[in-house]
Amino acid sequence: MRVTDERGNARYYFRAKGNTYPLLGALGSSQFYKNYNKYLELHVTGRLQSRKRLKRRVVRRSYTASSKSELVPGTVGWVIVQYLKSPRYAELATSTQRLYRTEYDFLRRTIGERVLVNLDTHDIDVYSARVARERGPATADMHLRLISSLWKFSKGLPACRRRGRPNPTFEAEKHYKTKLPHEPWPAAVQQRFLQVATPPLRLAFLLLLYTGQRRSDVVAMKWADYDGTKIYLRQKKTGQVLAIHVHRRLKEALDAIPRVHDSILINRCARPYESDSLTHAIKRTLRSIGAEKYTLHGLRKSAGVALAELGRSELEIMSVLGHKTPKMATYYCRQANRALLNESAIKAWEAAT
């Protein structure tokens, strides 16, 4: 039996004794006929169960490892399997791999049978709206990025002939609205923060600003990673291995601190900070000085801006912050150049009037 849903997609069912049973897989595929023959055998032998019970069992088994080989080439589910086996996925950090695998499993269960190159912007909007309702706007936007990655990865795959079709996520609607953009901290905010911050938070400030690293990397720093001149680390997000030369102000602070724990950054109870607890502590301090618009991650932006204003090159900024691409480094340099040009223009204006 063929049924067309509200989006115009055809769904096929096996009908027997007034009940309908969903047939998985594209029409004519091996998975389709396997499901059809299974229902037919159960019907002939009198062992066909109720639709509700049987549907639960089929859905639970439809995307197990044993069924991956039955996915139709060119479908979203099939491309996901190819991507998870690719060097591109293997290059990601372990934590990122775990996160992506979970989200790709959801993507595969939801629209895994759709042909990837046939998806258009409307299809993506409908899917992302569902994810936003069920799992939140940030996750919905993450799924847009995941689908975009699949689209880019599919280039060159014989089963995915795109024929010039554009990436359907380019014009898709975004759902997450940033409430607090990660703006660099002005010098005045930095000074006020240091005046009221506790000693652990002052050290956190110096580590975040003068290494330019993310909070997850800062809280993971160990004394064993510091040799008196450099701090060695592997970024959790990108897997980049860095050897950061320690700024003079940070070195003075580190050399004056007693090493009572393996972790460099510890709270007043002599326990290592977690990423979230450090964020909340800094947020409370910023709120106390009336600077709640700024965020912990803004110190990473402050590091990039400071280096750019000193005329450092994009490659130098990338070497400190650990960016894989020059996109953000170029942004910092452009902002710094704009500020210098603005100052030069105003001075010329003053001289002329």
pLDDT-derived band at 2 (thresholds 50, 70, 90) equals: low
CATH superfamily of 187-342: Intergrase catalytic core (1.10.443.10)
What global pTM score does this model have?
0.59
Comparing C-alpha atoms, which of 296, 294, 316 is closest to residue 304? Answer: 316
Comparing C-alpha atoms, which of 182, 99, 82, 167 is closest to residue 135? Answer: 99
In the predicted model, is pLDDT for residue 168 greater than 90? Answer: yes
What's the pLDDT at 49?
67
Could you give the CA distance from residue 330 to residue 209 in angstroms, rounded to a whole number?
19
- How is the chain split into domains, by residue range? 2-62, 71-153, 187-342
Average pLDDT over residues 56-76: 57
pLDDT-derived band at 247 (thresholds 50, 70, 90) equals: very high
Q: Provide the pairing of β-strand 241-245 with 19-22.
A: unpaired
Token pair for 44: 């002939």
Average pLDDT over residues 231-260: 92
Contact 270, 260 (CB under 8 A): yes
Cβ atoms within 10 Å of 27's Cβ, excluding its own: 10
Token pair for 152: 């880019």
The per-residue pLDDT of the chain, averaged, comes to: 85
Indicate the CATH number for domain 71-153: 1.10.150
Q: Which of 34-38, 47-51, 53-57, 158-162 has the highest mean pLDDT?
A: 158-162
